[in-house]
Amino acid sequence: MRLVSLTMLMPDMVLAKSIYYRDCLVLKEGTSDLERYTNSLKRLGIDYLYIEDAKSYGIEIPDAISEETRLMCKQVLRQTIEEFSTRAVIDIQEMSAAVNSIIDEILANPDVQISLNDIGATDEYTFTHSVSTTVYSLIIATKLGYTRSMLEKLGTGALLHDMGKILLDNKVINKAGKLDENEFEHVKKHTVLGYEALKRCVNLTELSRIISLYHHERMDGQGYPTGTPAAQLHEFTRIVAIADVYDALVSDRCYRKKWSSNQAVNYLVEHTETQFDLQLVSVLIKQIAIYPNGSMVRMSDHTIGIIKEQNKNFPLRPFVRIVADGWGNEITPYEIDMMKVLSITIIESELEMSWDSQSGSYETV
Ligand SMILES: [Fe+2]
C-alpha cells in the first residue's frame, strides 16, 4: 500500500482504503480504474488516496488506531457539534465512549507508531484534525504514564479543542490565502468562544475545558488569548499544543500543501522553548516514523524507493524497496535493509512522483 496524490493515479492502481465523505462511503476499497473518479474526488476536496499497486504490494502502513474507531470518532464529533449548534447541548456520554475507544487501542499497542497522516475532504478538516490531534495527545500522555481517568479528561478536551471554530465566520476559516490582521484576530476568538461554550456543558471537567482556551499559548508567552507562558499552564494544554501543530503541518490545507513527517518534526524541534515544551516534543517524536511506510524516497545513489518497513530503534535506516534507477526509469524492484548497507542514506523523503509516459520515467512533481 502507498499514498499517492490524485494527479499521480495510474491504470494499475487499486484503492487500498475506502473513501468516506460526511460519514458516507463514496469509494470502496478494491475499486480499480481510479482515474475516472478523479474529478468527483477533486470536487469533494479529496486530494490523496491509499492505493495498492505492484510496486507497493505487501507494504503495510500501520495506524495508531483502527479505521473503524477513526470513523466513529469523527461521526460522534460531527453529531456533537451539530447538536451543539441547534440545541446548545453536548452529549458527553457518546464523546466519552469515543475517547475510550481511542485509549483502548493505544494502550493495547505500546509500540504504537505515528505513520502517514489520516486523509480527508477539505471541508471535513476540523473533524479529521480533531481526531488526529486527540490520538497524538493520548500517545504522548500514555508514554508519560497518565492514569485512565486523566487520559479520558485529556482526550475529551483534545477532541473538542477547536469547538469554538463553529462559532466563527466560515469564509475566514476556509480562506485559501493568508489571513489579514482582522481575520487573524477573528480566528483567535475560537479559543475563548470554545471555552465559553464548553462551560455550559456541566458534565465536562474544567481540565477538559481549559484545553480549548489555552491550546494556542506558547512557552515564551507570545501565544493567545492570554499570553501566559505555557510552562505556567496545565500540562494538558502543552500536550495538545504540540499535537495540534504537528497534525496541521502534515495535513493538506487550503492554503498550503502538507509537509513531510521529517519537516514537521524539524519544525517542532526548532520551536522548542519558544513555542513548545521540549520534554513533550521529545516524547512525541520518538513515536513518529520519520520515513513512513508506503512513502517514496530518493536515496543517496539517486535511486528511488518506497519505504517497506521500519528498523526498530533505527528510524533513519528502514527497509526500502527500490523501484526506479537514478534517471527515474522503472527497474525490477529489489529490497535493501539500510542497516546492512550503511553507505547509502535517504536524501529526499515523501516524494510526490508522477509517471511521464513520453519519457517513460518518474518525475518529481
Ligand atoms: Fe485551535
158 near 240, Cβ under 8 Å?
Answer: yes
pLDDT for 33-77, tens place per residue? Answer: 999 999 999 888 888 889 999 989 999 998 889 989 999 999 999
Domain residues for the domain of 230 are: 67-285
What does the pLDDT look like over 74-91, one tens digit per residue? 999 999 888 887 777 788
Domain harbouring 146, CATH code: 1.10.3210.10
3-state secondary structure 298-341: EECCCCEEEEEECCCCCCCCCEEEEEECCCCCEEEEEEEECCCC
Q: What separation in Å is there between the alpha carbon of 191 and the centre of ligand 1?
A: 7
Q: How far away, in angstroms, is 130 Cα from ligand 1 center?
A: 10
Q: How many helices (H) and strands (E) does the chain have?
A: 12, 12
Residue 61 placed within a domain: no
pTM here is: 0.92
Boundary of a domain, candidates 285, 319, 341: 285
Domain identity same for 131 and 28: no
162 and 213 inside one domain: yes
Other beta carbons less than 10 A from residue 362's beta carbon: 21
Check pLDDT > 80 for residue 10: yes
- If asked whether residues 185 and 267 sit together in one domain, one would say yes
CA of 294 to the centre of ligand 1 (A): 30
* Domain boundary pick from 16, 34, 56: 56
Say yes or no: 84 and 214 in one domain.
yes
Structural domains of the chain, count = 3
Residue 361 DSSP code: E
Residue 229 Cα, ligand 1 centroid: separation in angstroms? 17
CATH number of residue 40's parent domain = 3.90.105
Is the domain of 153 the same as that of 280?
Answer: yes
Identify whether residues 254 and 350 lie together within a single domain.
no
Structural domain includes residue 225: yes
Ligand 1 centre from 182 Cα, in Å? 17
Co-location of 210 and 144 in the same domain: yes
For residue 336, how far is its CA from the centre of ligand 1 (angstroms)?
Answer: 42
* Same domain? 316 vs 345: yes
Q: What are φ and ψ of residue 348, in 5° steps?
A: -140, 140
